[in-house]
Amino acid sequence: MRKLLSIVAALSIAATLPYTADASPDQDLKEMRAYFKKRFPKVPFQDYANGVYALDAESRAQWESIEDFPPYEMSVDNGKKLFNTPFKNGKTYASCFPNDGIGIVQNYPLFDKASGEVITVEHAINMCRESNGEKPLKYKKGDIADIAAYMAYTSRGKKLKVVVPNDPRALAIYERGKQHFFAKRGQLNLACADCHVSSAGMHVRADLLSPMLGHVTHFPVYRSAWGELGTLHRRYGGCNEQVRAKAYDAQGPEYTALEYYESYMSNGLVLNGPGSRK
């Protein structure tokens, strides 16, 4: 463990992290892309949506055979059923979303000018429920993941296009997410960037570290470790706990900002949710 930490520490200092304070989102995106292009010259851009399976042939072969009978299929079916079941007042989720909620996930998280907030898919689902007199769902797993999985499934093939408008409120949330990504935290004193930028493609015990490019495209995700589907914020919490930091609340301001930043950085990648991972 100490050896791993010292390697990570050395790399953090040695490698130039693509972090420029006060840069525009567009600049950040260009820098991050250039970093990964240099780091993994043989990986085609669109393949980053497959995470570690773009980097390792053996685990890719295993993953492809799992995709023969994707473990998330039953969740998508359940999600479709939940999505089409009317609320007590007779309306359905379709009434809350453009295009009846089909094929729209590529626009999320989106910045809402009226409220000045960034809205994620899961948050939008609960906003829909509450405005129709239903109780909100819990944010990490269960029905919310199934509904989000169905919506992600209908959005497959669409290119992620998260907008960070030239609005100080949106830029502030973006910056907050970027700060979270690069800030060290927890007893292990690691930043998201330490593993997912500097050490991307390397091992941490028996697991491969995924590059941050393409992180969000395949969520919600069926994680073998969970034995079920979970949302992005569930993974954020788990990851923070893994560096022995206290997890923030799912759909709280911290993880929403982080999702905003990470999603913007993956713009242009083709959505492939829900996904299956180790």
Partner 1 sequence: MANTIKVRAKLAGDVTTVKALVSHPMETGLVKDKKTGQLIPAHFIQEVTCEHNGNNVLTALWGVAISKNPYLSFRFKGAKVGDKLTLRWVDNTGKSDAEETVID
> How far apart, in Å, are the Cα atoms of 67 and each of 70, 164, 228?
4, 33, 15
Residue 20 or 84 with smaller CB distance to partner 1? 84
- Assess 71 for contact with partner 1 (CB under 8 A): yes
- Assess 22 for contact with partner 1 (CB under 8 A): no
∠ CA 245-251-256 to the nearest 5 degrees?
85
* Pairing of the two strands 221-223 and 275-277: parallel
Candidates 64-72, 84-92, 231-239, 251-259; binding stretch for partner 1 (CB under 8 A) = 64-72
- Assess 85 for contact with partner 1 (CB under 8 A): no
Q: Which amino acid is at 201?
A: G
Collapsing DSSP to helix, strand or coil, 101 comes out as: helix
The whole-angstrom separation of Cα 142 and Cα 122 is 12
Q: How far is the CB of 224 from partner 1 (least distance, A)?
A: 10
Query: Among all residues, which ones are annotated catalytic?
Result: 239
- Assess 227 for contact with partner 1 (CB under 8 A): yes
- Assess 69 for contact with partner 1 (CB under 8 A): yes
Among 10, 34, 74, 172, binds partner 1 (CB under 8 A): 74
The whole-angstrom separation of Cα 226 and Cα 277 is 10
Residue 141 or 180 with smaller CB distance to partner 1? 141
- Assess 252 for contact with partner 1 (CB under 8 A): no
Q: How far is the CB of 82 from partner 1 (least distance, A)?
A: 16
- Assess 73 for contact with partner 1 (CB under 8 A): yes
Residue 44 or 69 with smaller CB distance to partner 1? 69
Collapsing DSSP to helix, strand or coil, 178 comes out as: helix
The whole-angstrom separation of Cα 36 and Cα 96 is 38
Task: Considering only residues 101 through 160, tell me which ones interact with partner 1, judged by CB under 8 A.
Answer: none
Residue 18 or 79 with smaller CB distance to partner 1? 79
Q: How many CB atoms lie within 10 A of CB 47?
A: 16
Q: How far is the CB of 240 from partner 1 (least distance, A)?
A: 24
**Chain Cα centroid distance, residue 254:** 13
The whole-angstrom separation of Cα 219 and Cα 26 is 23
**Contact residues: partner 1, CB under 8 A:** 68-69, 71, 73-74, 227
